[in-house]
């Protein structure tokens, strides 16, 4: 069993159980809505949730709120070959879900079921539908087919058209308590791995922490954060960071900057000068903030202003328009350099 299969076998994860049980009750009572917006942070396993619930809907012999895993339908689903389940996501290097993909999904829903049961469409990164795709989706939502279900998965629901959000039942997944995430993560990791360090770095998103542990992603993340912190002292350059951000994916890079900024805001508000954050680079910035002549209120306001700009930048990247990632990163890094850290090379 590979890692993805092992994870899929655990669905629903502990932080997903409440939504799963609610949907299962609705399924049992034939009260499911036509479309659901499955929203929450990227590291909570929402695509896996949608996939496994689709398997439950397509299984003719479910037991205790789970697909049986043995019937013909379940075997097809285990191989991603079920003819009544259709998946949509940005293709190749594209950042967007295109109108042709949504039209094909809509046509799929209008066709007769192969197995005589429901038909299901899962749209990952649904916030990345371009404008034409979003309008086509709106038409599909307004004219639902009987015995068909749509699951729109997103980690940026605010980037979606309000008319699409309003026509879906929303399932908002929250980040679990840190202790609960830690308990789950410990069971997935080898003994020598530092689950606390990984979970902090992943902003308490369990699957993101697991991803950091299973590759060199943690080292790459910490290297980028160090360069961002060193930028204030002139020890790295905007050009270098823009190049690194492109390799990481700009949305991921901005996420790292948001996490750093949150830690600095907390330190500014508390007036802390200690080395609370585990990253030496962030600790250096925390210490520098404590030595500046600016008041904690001014520092917090400046950092909050940058945080808002970073959120807007990430939202632009996730939008259905055609953003320029390089310009967005350059603008954010130029704003970062202007923050009052008072560091010197």
Write the CATH number for 254. Answer: 1.20.272
Q: Is the pLDDT of residue 312 over 60?
A: yes
Higher pLDDT, 118 or 213: 118
Higher pLDDT, 200 or 155: 155
Q: Is residue 160 part of a domain?
A: yes
Q: Is residue 285 part of a domain?
A: yes
Answer with the one of 149, 172, 195 that is the final residue of a domain: 172
Write the CATH number for 97. Answer: 3.40.50.300
Most distant CA pair in the chain: distance in Å?
A: 71
For residues 11 and 85, state if they share a domain.
yes
Q: Count up the domains in the chain and report the number.
A: 2
Q: Tens of pLDDT along 238-261?
A: 999 999 998 888 888 998 898 888
Q: Is the pLDDT of residue 292 over 70?
A: no
% of the chain exceeding 90 in pLDDT = 56
In sequence order, what are the residues at sequence separation of 6 or more whose Cβ sits closer than 8 angstroms to the Cβ of residue 134? 160, 161, 164, 320
The first and second tokens of residue 134, run together, are 């979003």
Q: Is residue 39 part of a domain?
A: yes
For residues 149 and 238, state if they share a domain.
no
Domain limits for position 84: 3-172
Highest-pLDDT range among 97-101, 254-258, 315-319? 97-101
This prediction's pTM: 0.79
For residues 246 and 154, state if they share a domain.
no
For residues 297 and 148, state if they share a domain.
no
Q: Is residue 199 part of a domain?
A: no
Q: Tens of pLDDT along 203-247?
A: 889 998 898 887 777 788 888 988 988 887 778 899 999 999 988
Q: Is residue 332 part of a domain?
A: yes
């Amino acid at each position: 069993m590979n890692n993805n299969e092992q994870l899929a076998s655990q669905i629903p994860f502990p932080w997903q159980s409440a939504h799963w049980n609610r949907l299962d009750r609705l399924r049992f009572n034939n009260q499911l809505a036509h479309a659901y917006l499955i929203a929450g942070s990227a590291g909570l396993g929402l695509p896996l949730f949608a996939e496994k619930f689709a398997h439950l809907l397509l299984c003719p012999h479910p037991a205790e709120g789970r697909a049986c895993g043995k019937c013909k339908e379940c075997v097809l689903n285990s191989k991603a070959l079920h003819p009544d389940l259709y998946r949509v996501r940005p293709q190749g290097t594209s950042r967007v879900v295109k109108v042709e993909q949504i039209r094909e999904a809509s046509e799929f829903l209008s066709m007769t079921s192969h197995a005589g049961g429901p038909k299901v469409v899962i749209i990952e990164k649904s916030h990345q539908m371009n404008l034409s795709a979003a309008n086509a989706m709106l038409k599909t939502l307004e004219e639902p087919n009987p015995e068909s279900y749509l699951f729109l998965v997103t980690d940026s629901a605010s980037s979606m058209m309000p008319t699409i959000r309003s026509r879906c039942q929303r399932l908002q997944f929250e980040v679990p308590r840190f202790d609960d995430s830690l308990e789950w993560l410990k069971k997935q990791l080898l003994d020598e791995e530092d689950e606390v360090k990984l979970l902090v770095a992943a902003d308490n998103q369990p699957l993101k922490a697991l991803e950091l542990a299973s590759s060199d992603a943690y080292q790459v993340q910490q290297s980028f954060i160090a360069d961002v912190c060193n930028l204030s002292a002139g020890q790295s350059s905007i050009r270098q960071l823009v190049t690194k951000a492109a390799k990481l994916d700009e949305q991921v890079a901005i996420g790292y900057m948001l996490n750093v900024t949150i830690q600095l805001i907390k330190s500014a508000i508390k007036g802390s000068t200690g080395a609370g954050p585990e990253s030496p680079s962030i600790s250096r910035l925390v210490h520098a903030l404590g030595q500046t002549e600016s008041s904690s209120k001014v520092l917090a306001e400046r950092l909050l202003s940058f945080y808002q700009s970073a959120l807007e930048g990430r939202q632009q990247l996730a939008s259905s328009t055609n953003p320029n990632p390089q310009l967005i990163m350059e603008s954010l890094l130029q704003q970062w350099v202007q923050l009052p850290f008072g560091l010197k090379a």
